[in-house]
Amino acid sequence: MEEVFLTNDFYVPSLNGRLFCSRRDPIREAVQWYQLNKEKIENADRITIIGLGAGFHLHLIPRDKLVCYVELEPDLIDRFRRLYPDSQAFPLQSIEFLENSEVLSFRPAQIGNEEIYRPLEDKSQLNIKLIGALIEKMKIQNIESTQWLVLRELVR
């Protein structure tokens, strides 16, 4: 993971030359994403965001919301935690949370992992194989994830 300096005084994450947010104006991109999802955000208590990116969009969500994110690049999670230790957003640790929250997608952060991210946007597409792949990629380690992985093996 590298930090790329943009002309508008921001550092953004890059992996193998791939940016996870706008090269020109990541703040404007985050504000546009928020405006697009504003009604859903206002009406939800629990929100799951598919794609962390540089994390700017997470800062726009009111602090009274319970927010988790799905991110498959561990370095992005580490970066977010290091830069924003006071953030109340946390990585997905429970499929139950995903199923019982408003799911919002931040597409710029999904490049390269669309096959896992995209089906998560529609909770009706959740299946044991997808959940197993998600758990393995995110390295979720808890009793619930172990049960999902066992179920996945049973249906193979």
Whether 71 is covered by a domain: the verdict is yes
Residue 148 lies in a domain: no
| Position 63 in a domain | yes
**Distance between CA atoms of 49 and 40, rounded to whole angstroms?**
12
Residue 146 lies in a domain: no
Strand ordering across the sheet containing 2-5: 2-5, 11-15, 18-19
Write out the residue range of the structural domain in which residue 112 sits. Answer: 2-123
Residue 144 lies in a domain: no
The enclosing domain of 38 has a CATH number of 3.40.50
**4-56 pLDDT per residue, tens:** 887 777 788 888 888 888 888 899 999 999 999 999 999 999 999 999 999 99
Would you say residue 155 lies in a domain? no
Q: Quote the pLDDT of residue 115.
A: 85
Q: What is the 3-state secondary structure (H, E, C) of the chain?
A: CEEEECCCCCEEEEECCEECCCCCCHHHHHHHHHHHHHHHHHHCCEEEEECCCCCHHHHHCCCCCEEEEECCCHHHHHHHHHHCCCCCCEECCCHHHHHCCEEEECHHHHCCCHHHHHHHCCHHHCCHHHHHHHHHHHCCCCHHHHHHHHHHHHHC
pLDDT above 90: residue 62 = yes
Confidence (pTM): 0.84
Give the total number of structural domains in the chain. Answer: 1
Task: Give CA–CA dist 60/111, Å, rounded.
Answer: 22
Is 129 a domain residue? no
Residue 114 lies in a domain: yes
